[in-house]
Structure 1
Amino acid sequence: MSVRPGSIVRFRHRRWVVLPSDDEAIVLLRPLTGTSEDALPVHRQLADLLAYSLPSERLEADRFPLPDPTQLTDAEAVRLLGQAARLLLREGAAPLRSLGRISVRPRPYQLVPLLMALRLDPVRLLIADDVGVGKTIEAGLIARELWDTGEIRRLAVLCPPPLTEQWASELREKFHLDPVILAPHSVAALERTLPPGRSLFRHYPVIVASIDYLKLPRNREPFLAEPPDLVIVDEAHGVVPATTAERDPRHLRYRLVRELASDQRRHLILLTATPHSGIQRAFQRLLGLLHTDFEDWDLDQLDRARTERLARHVVQRTRADISRQWPEASQLYPVRDAIERTYALSDAYRALFQDTFDFCRRLIEESRQLPDRERRFQWWAALTLLRCVMSSPRAGAEALARREIPQAEEPEELALATELGENSFEPAELLGLEPTEFRPSDEIPSQRLELATTHTLALSETARRRLRELARQARAIEADPASDTKLQACLEAVRQLLDRGSAPVIWCVFVDTAEYVAERLRQALEPTDRDLVVECLTGRIDDQQRRERVRALQQAPRRVLVATDCLSEGVNLQELFDAVLHYDLPWNPNRLEQREGRVDRFGQPCERVTAVRLYGRDNPVDAEVIDILIRKADRIRRQLGIHVPVPEDEGWLAELLVHRLFEKPRQAQLALPIGPDPTEQLLSRWDADTEREQRRRTRFAQHALDPQVVTQHLASCDAVLGDEETVRAFVAGASQRLGLAVDARPDGTLVLQTSRPDTVPEPIRLLLPSDRRRAWQLAFTVPHPPGSEWVGRNHPFTVGLARYLFEVAFERPAEPIVARAAVLRSRLVSQVATLALLRTRFLLRRPDRPEAVLEDVLVTGCDLFGERWLAPAEARRLLDQARPEDDIPLAERRELAATALEPLAESLARTEPSGPLAELLAQRAAELAEAHRQVLAAAGERRRSLTVEPLWPPDLIAFVVLQPKR
């Protein structure tokens, strides 16, 4: 038979809904009470052949079953059935089709990138929202929407290696995509599952790949030979090289992404919280990935046309920007309390610092005759040696103990280090960097420190003895924790945070420091607090172990995490921790923001988070970093609400700190003329960059989408799919009806008592937590209270409840839980009225795209004989408010139900659409077409030329008869 998408057919003794299929030889059948995930593919010719011997294999036209007027229940059961029908919609008629399939409730501001993307063809978008705003959700929404509308069929996420598991989990759990991870540890297992002659990149439609795995030539070429339709690049700032050095590891990443971007039909989304590192050329290259024209534009000299064109491709908002446009969003983020906590060096530590400082001063003195690049590298070596010593006695001892083996010649690594050192001063990002890594290194760069010192200093036996003595001093301090006043200040701060119920993350630069601090915290805290777990996560632990240890911390009643910057980008810690303590201050203000953003972000359940910045009052290095860099960055952020990076490149930091720590005191001591102050130059350029950044954002801000338009689109989706309150009301009502005790809390959560599951139907019992001794607290908004579990429309419990009620109503109508008909007396009506709950289907047609079936749940109504029809809004109001006000004998109720069903059945039995129901569907189709066109208002003609056709007849799910109470 000829089947049409949206029609009802009978196959294998069941009724099915026909879904669109990309293959003409295949018919996709969805169970009447199921979702598209349950769709059954049926080969047309094979079904015809089997039908000769097995009649049940024949596809036959059928109709939706009418309700049985003898099976009656109350109006609340019908309302629950209607809510279940809405919550089971996956091919919803909402203009944003992805919202029906995701397991996350996006905030209105998170829809802005999606709406901007839908107005681009192809989608080329840079999402540079602030840390913790929700860029992963924003990108996932775009990917899911393009997938559901048929724009893409293959997707790849390129990200740093530590983030592959997190991305795969987000796509799987929140967006119901099924990704595989491509990384060195997983490729062999995936290749064993491939059909003969098929590549990984073609076989798996959704891939999350380590960008450092794909950038290697042996992997890059096969990937580029079969590239995906959409590429998402996370931490995109790490892709663009800051230098022209061909050995800069970023060049291989940049080459990979640039070749993907060269196909102007490919969709590309770039994600970064720090798009502008202070190096203008790198930012231009990043924009050039969106369109080659953007790479050559002077962003300070754009005319109106160019400004509007660029603004269509860039989303860059701070929390302040979002809160101004969306006042309700300010409640989604915690308040950050930044606290400065100081300590004074002990006598032993002060002596170690001074002796190390004298050694570094000699290193600086000896570098004066070197070429500029090598001299800067010596500056880095001196500052890093000081930093190691001041980080912890263990890190200092490790750095000092390995200065003894001189190198006879300057190896190739020094040339690379000096070349990179111009633009990558932060030690954690420089000399521990290997070509296969895309993350900060937290190891002490011992070999290259050795190169720097031996290249300049001919280490005599006296110098070697002096280094050994410094290392011995550091070991002595490590053995005597009382002499490490920095550690003692940290212990006191952690105790205070724990006493008030906080869970802190302690950030260190080096692995040795992190392990040292974790050991001392365990010794001091765990013996007196059996509920406390102190965990240490560094670059010496592989990604899988780090993830497992973070998951294990969820079971700890009280927890402290000591970590290095290997966790400072892209990792979400907000559900487990609400405070940070900077044991080592970062020398780049951006790193400070990344660290604090791990807990200060969307989804943090606490109203306030704490950031403790620990530094020495008499430590001149800390003093300079705090005074010049961190406080300046804080002032800019407080005044403008934006982060402006240190100007030009990070090489300025080396020159600045060397000048203030070594040169300025020397000039004053020798009464030498003092030249231009690098501090003033830096601050002046920083102020200029701040003004320029503010002007750019002001120009682009006028092109932001109107919040009212975004809210309107979200409201139209909620009208079809249901909002948070719809889910809460349904879960509460269905749980009570199925035998669970439900306690509604003032904070909007529900507590389900699961201690007596035997009273609950088995399909629902299997959805309850395994630990049934405790109550199950369910939350329906984000962020949710600690200890609760967020439940949305696609949560397994919500779906399980909806599906069970639907199946009972249609397949086991004798059970009293729900039914498809109800009769009651009410003062809401003056004459008998029939309210009909309809599931309607519409066929969406777009040029160059397969047809799509859209579904909606509508309420209409009429008088007892179908002569006068109610407006849908009036019918919905009556259904929501109707409550039984008097008893009606069963015989009378059945007679009223049978009489009321007749005009509905007669209207639905017509072969061609006509009458009030047909008019209702035609009006709804026009509304849906207009809503879809508004979403694509600025898109090309191909995507705006869409039509929506109602499919006849609609499904009568249930009806309620209201008899006047006199």
Structure 2
Amino acid sequence: MTVNFVPGDLVRARGREWVALPAPGEGILALRPLSGSENDTVILDPSLEIQPVAPARFDLPADARPTVQAKAALLADALQLTLRRGAGPFRSAAQLSFEPRTYQLVPLLMALRLQVPRLLIADDVGIGKTIEAGLILRELMDRGEVDAFSVLCPPHLVEQWVGELKQRFGIDAVAVTSGSAARLERGLPLAQTLFDAYPHTVVSLDYIKAEKRREGFARACPDFVIVDEAHACVGTQRGRQQRFDLLAGLARDPQRRMILLTATPHSGDEDAFGRLLSLIEPSFATMNFEDARYRERLARHFVQRRRIDLVSGDWGETRAFPRHETTEFPYRLSQAHLDFHNAVLDYCFGVVSRAGSGLRERRLAFWGTLALMRCVGSSPAAALAALRNRMSNESDRLEPQIYDEDSDDEDAVDIEPGTGFDADPALQALVAQAEELIRKPDPKLAALIEALGPLIRKGANPVVFCRFLATAEHVRDGLRKAFPELVVEAVTGVLTPDERRDRVADMAAAEVEGEVQRILVATDCLSEGINLQQLFDTVVHYDLCWNPTRHQQREGRVDRFGQPAELVRSIMMFSPDSAIDGAVLDVILRKAEEIRKATGITVPLPDERGPVTDALMAAVMLRRGRPRQLALDLRLEDGSRAMEARWRDVLENERKSRARFAQNAMKPQEVAPEWEKVRTLLGSPEDAKTFVERAMSRFGVPLEPRRTLLIAHVHALEAGLKERLAQRNLTGSVRLATAEPAPAGAALLTRTHPLTATLAEALVEASLDPEALSGLGIGRVGAWPSAAVRQVTRLALLRIRFKLTVHARKERLLLAEEAALVAMQDGRIVATGDAARELLNAPAEADLAPSARDRFIARAKEDLPGLLNGPLAAFARSRAEDLMQDHARLRTASGAATRVTVEPVLPPDVIGLFVLLPGEV
């Protein structure tokens, strides 16, 4: 006889009980062990089983093991924390290893209100765009709407995305890069693509954008795509054009869900911004912000928040981000270094004056001058490298290097540029002068050590950003001599992306071993891609950034969501003796800072760099005291006036942009209580902490408090548990944070932390299976006197399964579970939830004689069938109705057209049954 099972049914197969999950195909069963975790799910064909697959009942066994009050309370906590398929409207809440902030729910709600979610999330650097995109992905996966996805990002972000998806959202994804693709494809059948075999992928944009791969990916691409650094996919450069062609091809499928992420959606290039918006909806490309209907349509797909909006508004995010203290640190050049600066400038002005009147020749001379002066201002070592590189003549690469533009060649970001100047005796003299300076004390390095000294004594952990590779190595060596007791490392472009990540990870490992202070010297190869907030709290701009966006990216590695320090410092070093430092401060950085203070956002350089170059050259000439006539002859004054006008335009555009795109339509405070309700049902971080403390004590290995952390010595647990934890990469002594942000080397102790999950699963399994961890005595029945009650009270620990039917274009049936504790007196429910838990947590006043205990338990068992069909069934139906209303409220708030019906699977599972007696009995 064939028995049809639906999700939520109990099934007996292979000698044990299972819960049926939504099946992947006709005639196939997906089963999860009744006492196991989501990772133990199996797929089977009933026709191939030796023993028939049959319906099962979850009854409280006649020989259920008795337990005491403390262990009964522990079991109730464990059951709550094991459930991963919450029945509430936020299905993803049970899977997260962190606590999302209220503002991070806004993009999720925006996505839920769209039939086909397409969003451009343009929040500031460090607010948490990765978290916001991951929340949307996790929620849609848990709703059964997404089975496969691809994250497309620059190559240096691939591993970070893989790690974030795993650590924060419990999603395993594979990295697809030029180095891994061939290995992943090896052995696949001809008819199967890599993306068929691996449904969850993080893909390097630079690998997949090539024409020979682009078309194949478009055919195999999943229907849910996240694009990080989306602004780098629009523009006129060849690499950006290839990326845009790839994304435009994906966007042509109207059913494909796309989430685009960028901190700089609009860099002053209206065409590029229009192309970015066209990926959401083709009609958005023709922008008309004066049209209220256009703005209203766009607002459903576009969210942009600055940090100032979140900190100063009504969001309650005063501690989501650290305070930021910015200071300038001027230093003086020694006479020898000043003479070298002036000699190089005089040489460069000679080259400029001989460049002639041709625009290209003059521009190349300007670029060569600025490139060389950047190196001279950085360090004698960088200056020497640039002077020796002079014959490389890579003039087409000079401009982007000067202005710190994003490069397709990430490994070249910190190499000293070649100026293209012809060799002559004067240039050879400068080389000799630089070689001599390298052997003398460096006033800039001495100033850095002076600036860091007081901060190091206060316990700071700085990142020192240098522009060039030679400078970084010079600074690293100097800091190691000045601070021998600190861990000082350098990360530069000579390391591969994996090696950079490993070097930072090694510094984190040193923190785990003991309290250490550290200094990281880095070039801009690290200003994107690796988050540093858990290890470092101070940023030093040893070399000025010439692009304000890059300046922000440096600070954004440290000053971001998840920074445990309450104060982040940034220090900008410059020399008033340096003509080039003064020019950059006046022409670029201080103008950009004025705009940031006025609008709350850091703006990039104007897209046309000619006026920037002219203004810088004019400022350098005037500071060096060169004849004003030379600047006029070269028309550099025109560039200065043009730059002033550009900055004014940028300021006005940003003010307009804030008015256009301020995300005021969403009221997350109205929905936040729903998220809080889910946390209450599933178990908050505080609940997880309480449970782990009790469980570890029961296992004889109590947690060790240490400052703001707890240490779990998992190596001292019994062998079975230790093996389970080792499979989840928990060994030795584990550092646990009890509040966010978690410091370096520690993880927030949540319900999904491997320690919480393993202990909870083990305890529930020990109660259901007498053979598992029998020494713990975790039983399912009990009776004891309690001062919390005045008449006999029975507590039923229930696991209620629900069938959720989502009524949309494609109807979906989902399985959900909920743990509940119900207190009954005389066959009536008198308390549930926290009130019932307080009764269970009240300590027993005494031990009953075994015969009396067994008598009370036996009576409770006798009455249980009537309770299951009466008040407990009514309670389950009531919970289903409440959940249905929760779903309806959320979907109304998000504007969704779909509806959800919730049906309980009856009878509920009785995991435990406990009798509380008045104290005088």
In structure 2, distance between residues paired with 1:267 and 1:75: 50
1:493 is aligned to 451
1:554 is aligned to 508
CA drift at 1:277: 2.0
The answer to whether structure 1 residue 442 and structure 2 residue 442 are counterparts is no
Query: 1:514-573, CA deviations, whole angstroms, 9 ceiling, x for partnerless residues?
Result: 222223333x236x43xx332222222211211221211223433222211111013201
Contact residue 808 and residue 815 of structure 1 kept, 8 A = no
Query: 1:695-741, CA deviations, whole angstroms, 9 ceiling, x for partnerless residues?
Result: 43244436342132231121122122111111111111111111112
2:475 is aligned to 517
In structure 2, distance between residues paired with 1:356 and 1:144: 57
1:230 is aligned to 224
Contact residue 615 and residue 636 of structure 2 kept, 8 A = no
The answer to whether structure 1 residue 587 and structure 2 residue 546 are counterparts is yes
In structure 1, distance between residues paired with 2:632 and 2:216: 62
Contact residue 308 and residue 703 of structure 1 kept, 8 A = no
In structure 2, distance between residues paired with 1:378 and 1:277: 27
In structure 2, distance between residues paired with 1:486 and 1:609: 23
Query: 1:469-510, CA deviations, whole angstroms, 9 ceiling, x for partnerless residues?
Result: 111111111122x1x211221233344433332222111112
The answer to whether structure 1 residue 693 and structure 2 residue 669 are counterparts is no
2:339 is aligned to 351
Query: 1:551-600, CA deviations, whole angstroms, 9 ceiling, x for partnerless residues?
Result: 11223433222211111013201112221211110011111111011111
In structure 2, distance between residues paired with 1:220 and 1:609: 42
In structure 2, distance between residues paired with 1:507 and 1:98: 38
In structure 2, distance between residues paired with 1:474 and 1:384: 16
2:405 is aligned to 429
CA pair 308-930 structure 1, distance change in 2 beyond 3 A: farther
CA drift at 1:390: 1.5
Contact residue 591 and residue 647 of structure 2 kept, 8 A = no
Contact residue 538 and residue 558 of structure 2 kept, 8 A = yes
Contact residue 86 and residue 856 of structure 1 kept, 8 A = yes
Contact residue 70 and residue 894 of structure 1 kept, 8 A = no
Contact residue 861 and residue 869 of structure 1 kept, 8 A = yes
Deviates more, 1:648-657 or 1:895-904: 648-657
The answer to whether structure 1 residue 928 and structure 2 residue 889 are counterparts is no
Contact residue 234 and residue 271 of structure 1 kept, 8 A = yes
SS of the residue corresponding to residue 807 of structure 1 reads: helix
2:513 is aligned to none
Aligned length: 907
Which ranges of structure 2 fall in alignment gaps of 5 or more residues?
Answer: 511-515
CA drift at 1:468: 0.8
In structure 1, distance between residues paired with 2:581 and 2:841: 66
The answer to whether structure 1 residue 896 and structure 2 residue 850 are counterparts is no
Equivalent of 2:21 in 14, 19, 26? 19
In structure 2, distance between residues paired with 1:744 and 1:949: 44
In structure 2, distance between residues paired with 1:602 and 1:510: 28
CA pair 842-757 structure 1, distance change in 2 beyond 3 A: closer
CA drift at 1:782: 1.4
- Aligned-partner residue type, residue 862 of structure 1: M
Superposition map of 1:667-682 within 5 A: 668=628, 678-679=639-640, 681-682=642-643
In structure 2, distance between residues paired with 1:940 and 1:80: 41
2:317 is aligned to 329
CA drift at 1:744: 5.2
- Aligned-partner residue type, residue 906 of structure 2: W
Equivalent of 1:110 in 104, 108, 112? 104
The answer to whether structure 1 residue 310 and structure 2 residue 298 are counterparts is yes
SS of the residue corresponding to residue 782 of structure 1 reads: coil
Equivalent of 1:544 in 498, 508, 515? 498
2:43 is aligned to 41
CA pair 621-704 structure 1, distance change in 2 beyond 3 A: farther
1:456 is aligned to none
In structure 2, distance between residues paired with 1:672 and 1:477: 35
CA pair 323-440 structure 1, distance change in 2 beyond 3 A: farther
Query: 1:940-961, CA deviations, whole angstroms, 9 ceiling, x for partnerless residues?
Result: 87x6133211111111111222
Deviates more, 1:671-680 or 1:141-150: 671-680
Which ranges of structure 1 fall in alignment gaps of 5 or more residues?
Answer: 51-56, 408-412, 454-458, 909-913
1:808 is aligned to 766
2:697 is aligned to 736
- Aligned-partner residue type, residue 870 of structure 2: G
CA drift at 1:873: 4.7
SS of the residue corresponding to residue 16 of structure 1 reads: strand
CA pair 220-650 structure 1, distance change in 2 beyond 3 A: same
- Aligned-partner residue type, residue 429 of structure 1: E
In structure 2, distance between residues paired with 1:856 and 1:231: 31
2:374 is aligned to 387
Query: 1:126-155, CA deviations, whole angstroms, 9 ceiling, x for partnerless residues?
Result: 112121122111111111112222222221
SS of the residue corresponding to residue 339 of structure 1 reads: strand
SS of the residue corresponding to residue 839 of structure 1 reads: strand
CA drift at 1:764: 6.9
CA pair 248-217 structure 1, distance change in 2 beyond 3 A: closer
SS of the residue corresponding to residue 317 of structure 2 reads: helix
Contact residue 311 and residue 703 of structure 1 kept, 8 A = no
2:209 is aligned to 215
In structure 2, distance between residues paired with 1:384 and 1:875: 71
In structure 2, distance between residues paired with 1:816 and 1:894: 20
1:826 is aligned to 786
1:781 is aligned to 739
CA drift at 1:816: 4.6
In structure 1, distance between residues paired with 2:563 and 2:631: 55
RMSD: 2.8
Query: 1:895-946, CA deviations, whole angstroms, 9 ceiling, x for partnerless residues?
Result: 12221232223343xxxxx5322322222112222222333337787x6133
Give TM-score scaled by structure 2 length: 0.92
Contact residue 93 and residue 720 of structure 1 kept, 8 A = no
CA pair 445-834 structure 1, distance change in 2 beyond 3 A: same
Contact residue 160 and residue 439 of structure 1 kept, 8 A = no
1:163 is aligned to 157
Contact residue 325 and residue 707 of structure 1 kept, 8 A = no
SS of the residue corresponding to residue 834 of structure 1 reads: strand
Equivalent of 1:292 in 250, 263, 282? 282
Query: 1:156-182, CA deviations, whole angstroms, 9 ceiling, x for partnerless residues?
Result: 111111111111112222222221211
Equivalent of 1:507 in 457, 465, 479? 465
The answer to whether structure 1 residue 83 and structure 2 residue 77 are counterparts is yes
CA drift at 1:651: 3.9
Contact residue 725 and residue 731 of structure 2 kept, 8 A = no
In structure 2, distance between residues paired with 1:844 and 1:771: 39
2:246 is aligned to 256
**Percent of matched pairs sharing the same residue:** 40
SS of the residue corresponding to residue 838 of structure 1 reads: strand
Give TM-score scaled by structure 1 length: 0.88
Contact residue 737 and residue 817 of structure 1 kept, 8 A = no
Equivalent of 1:605 in 564, 571, 590? 564
